[in-house]
Amino acid sequence: MSKITFEFGEVETLTREVHRAAAEVTKGGSAWAGAPSTGWAGGSKVGFYNGVPYSSPVPTVNAFGNTGAALACMSAYQQAESAMRNVMTAFGNTLDSDAERLELVVALFRQVDAEAADRMLQANRNRLDVFSAHLDTGHGDGGDARRAGQIDRLLGLTRNSPLGAGTVVAGDFNSVSTDGSQSAQAIQRYGTQGFDVNQGDIHDGRGGTSASHRRIDHLMPRGLGASAATRWDRGQSDHDGQVVDVTLPGW
């Protein structure tokens, strides 16, 4: 029987490089999305002649010019743009999931012997556990302490997820993670257990997803690739939704 060995230094270096690659792909996707518009421009301009206003047409053109082939060029570009955006998003999520998996591999091989770690990784690689919660709404020190206790108990429940499984914790915690309160400190403890505490933050200039725009809704994945969070407008709810695509590692 062959013996499994593990070179921590090499795998940790690989993990850093995969994280760097994922960041570069995300940066490239943002640059692509922010490219100049290829839409049509035209209309008319207004001027004055001897004090009398007049208008004259402005040629309708796009970024590819105003020739007969401009429309075909613009249409082809827009199709390629949409396809490339989807490809870059999928590729970035895959790299992110691989980096998360490598971090889990390193942590697992440090805790148990190599053969046991390998068995755990293989047994649970396609498993996804999701924990959802709506926590206490009370105000003041008493309410904050109760929420902190609930947040810690929820973290304890995640320990029932087997090593090697992907995990997501999400919900309305009625607490921000950054004000130094007891509940904020409890949320930050998820980061010490491998969760991405800020993955659910939406950066669209509108604040959080609650009616007050405070960031009290949280979405924290572990061991998964995850896309940048986007907003799902609330409709009849008093909270907007947080939309994050998660990717299970393929190995």
**Same domain, residue pair 80 and 157:** no
Write down the pLDDT at residue 146.
93
User: Pick the residue with more confidence: 251 or 206?
Assistant: 206
Write down the pLDDT at residue 227.
86
Single residue among 84, 109, 124 that ends a domain in this structure: 124
User: Please, are residues 224 and 166 in contact by the beta-carbon 8 Å criterion?
Assistant: yes
**Same domain, residue pair 131 and 248:** yes
Q: Kindly state the average pLDDT of the residues 149-155.
A: 96
Q: What digits encode the pLDDT tens for the residues 71-91?
A: 788 778 777 777 877 788 888
Paired strand residues for 44: 57
Q: Can you tell me the distance from the alpha carbon of 241 to that of 251, in angstroms, rounded to the nearest whole number?
A: 30
User: Pick the residue with more confidence: 130 or 110?
Assistant: 130
Single residue among 93, 124, 155 that ends a domain in this structure: 124
Q: Can you tell me the distance from the alpha carbon of 56 to that of 36, in angstroms, rounded to the nearest whole number?
A: 27
Total-model pTM = 0.69
Number of domains composing the chain: 2
Q: What is the CA radius of gyration of the chain?
A: 25
Q: What digits encode the pLDDT tens for the residues 163-193?
A: 778 899 999 999 999 999 999 999 999 999 8
The CB-based long-range contact list for 5-13 (8 Å cut-off, 24+ gap) reads 5/114, 6/109, 6/114, 6/117, 8/106, 8/109, 8/110, 11/102, 11/105, 11/106, 12/106
Q: Is residue 53 part of a domain?
A: no
162: domain CATH number is 3.60.10.10
**Same domain, residue pair 84 and 185:** no
Q: 154 pLDDT band (50/70/90 cuts)?
A: very high
